[in-house]
C-alpha cells in the first residue's frame, strides 16, 4: 500500500508491504527503513493484522487528501482562467509583464496538476485496499473454485506460489484497483448467470476464515 501516515513519527511504524527473504521477513516502512523480523506464520499474521488496521484507521488521511484534492482542483480552475485572460492580453497588447504572468500561471498550474494527481493516486490506492478487505472472503473463495486459467491470470501480478493462492492485503500491493474490481465483476457475473465452478478439495486453497 502507499503511505497513509500523517507525520514522520507515524511513518516510522507504517508498513507499506513486506517480503519473505529466507528465514527473515523484510518489512518496508513508510519512513524508507527496512525492518527485519523472523519469518514465522505468527509474525506474518501479526503484520497482516497491522496492515488491515492501517486501512481501517486511514479516515483522517482520506479526509486530508480529499481536501487537498479539492483545493488543487479549485486552484487549477483559477490558474486556467487567469492563464487564458493573460494569453488574450498577450495577443491584444504584448508586454513583458504579461509574458511573466503567463509563465507564473503555467508553473503554478503544473504544480497544482501534480498535486491533484498525487491525491487521486493516494485515494485510489486506499479505496483498492478498502474494497479488498470488504470482499476478501468472496475473492478468495472465487479464485480457489476457479480453473487454473483464472488463477494464473489473476495471481500473475503478485507472483504467488502455486501452493499458496490465498490473496491477503500484502499481496495486492502490486495489483491495480482495476484488477481487484475486475475479480468482483467476474464474481457478480457468476452469481447472476448461475455459473458453478469446481471446488478445490485441498483446504490450503481456502481463505483463513473458512478453515476448520
Tell me which of 115, 132, 149 is where a domain ends: 132
Q: Is 36 helix (H, G, I), strand (E, B) or coil?
A: strand
99 and 160 in a single domain? The answer is no
155 and 167 in a single domain? The answer is yes
Number of domains in the chain: 3
126 and 184 in a single domain? The answer is no
- 2 inside domain: no
Mean pLDDT confidence for 150-175: 67
Could you give the angle at the alpha carbon of 31 between the alpha carbons of 14 and 176, nearest 5°?
Answer: 65
What's the CA gap between 209 and 122, in Å, rounded? 29
Instruction: Supply the pLDDT for residue 146.
Output: 61
pLDDT at 18 over 80: yes
Q: What is the mean pLDDT of the chain?
A: 84
Instruction: Supply the pLDDT for residue 191.
Output: 84
Q: Is 54 buried (19+), middle (13-18) or exposed (0-12) by CB count in 10 A? A: buried
141 and 200 in a single domain? The answer is yes
pLDDT tens digits, one per residue of 64-108: 999 999 999 999 999 999 888 888 888 888 888 888 888 998 999
Question: Which of 145, 149, 134 minimizes the C-alpha distance to 184?
Answer: 134
Mean pLDDT confidence for 145-161: 58
141 and 206 in a single domain? The answer is yes
- 108 inside domain: yes
Look up the domain containing 192 and give its range.
Answer: 135-210
91 and 150 in a single domain? The answer is no
Instruction: Supply the pLDDT for residue 63.
Output: 96
160 and 183 in a single domain? The answer is yes
Q: What is the DSSP string of 69-85?
A: HHHHHHHHHHHHHHHHH
Among the ranges given (2-16, 53-67, 85-99, 184-198), the one the predictor scored with the smallest mean pLDDT:
184-198
Sign of the alpha-carbon torsion through 125, 134, 19, 46: positive
What's the CA gap between 55 and 131, in Å, rounded? 11
**Helices 41-56, 96-134: crossing angle, 10 deg rounding:** 130
- 17 inside domain: yes
- 3 inside domain: no
Mean pLDDT confidence for 34-55: 95
66 and 118 in a single domain? The answer is yes
pLDDT at 158 over 70: no
- 165 inside domain: yes
DSSP lists the bridge partners of residue 210 as none
- 51 inside domain: yes
- 44 inside domain: yes
Amino acid at each position: 500500500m502507499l503511505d497513509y501516515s500523517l507525520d514522520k513519527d507515524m511513518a516510522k511504524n507504517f508498513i507499506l508491504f513486506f517480503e519473505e527473504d529466507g528465514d527473515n521477513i523484510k518489512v518496508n516502512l513508510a519512513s524508507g527503513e527496512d525492518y527485519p523480523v523472523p519469518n514465522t506464520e505468527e509474525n506474518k499474521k501479526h503484520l497482516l493484522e497491522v496492515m488491515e488496521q492501517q486501512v481501517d484507521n486511514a479516515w483522517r488521511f482520506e479526509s486530508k487528501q480529499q481536501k487537498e484534492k479539492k483545493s488543487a482542483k479549485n486552484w487549477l480552475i483559477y490558474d486556467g482562467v487567469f492563464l487564458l485572460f493573460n494569453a488574450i492580453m498577450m495577443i491584444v497588447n504584448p508586454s513583458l509583464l504579461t509574458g511573466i504572468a503567463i509563465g507564473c500561471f503555467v508553473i503554478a498550474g503544473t504544480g497544482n496538476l501534480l498535486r491533484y494527481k498525487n491525491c487521486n493516486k493516494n485515494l485510489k490506492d486506499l479505496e483498492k485496499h478498502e474494497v479488498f478487505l470488504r470482499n476478501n472472503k468472496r475473492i478468495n473463495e472465487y479464485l480457489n473454485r476457479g480453473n487454473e486459467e483464472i488463477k494464473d491470470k489473476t495471481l500473475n501480478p503478485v507472483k504467488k506460489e502455486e501452493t499458496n493462492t490465498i490473496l491477503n492485503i500484502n499481496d495486492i500491493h502490486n495489483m491495480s484497483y482495476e484488477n481487484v474490481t475486475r475479480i468482483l465483476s467476474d464474481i457478480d457475473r457468476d452469481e447472476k448467470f448461475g455459473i458453478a465452478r469446481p471446488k478445490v478439495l485441498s483446504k490450503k486453497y481456502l481463505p483463513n476464515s473458512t478453515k476448520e
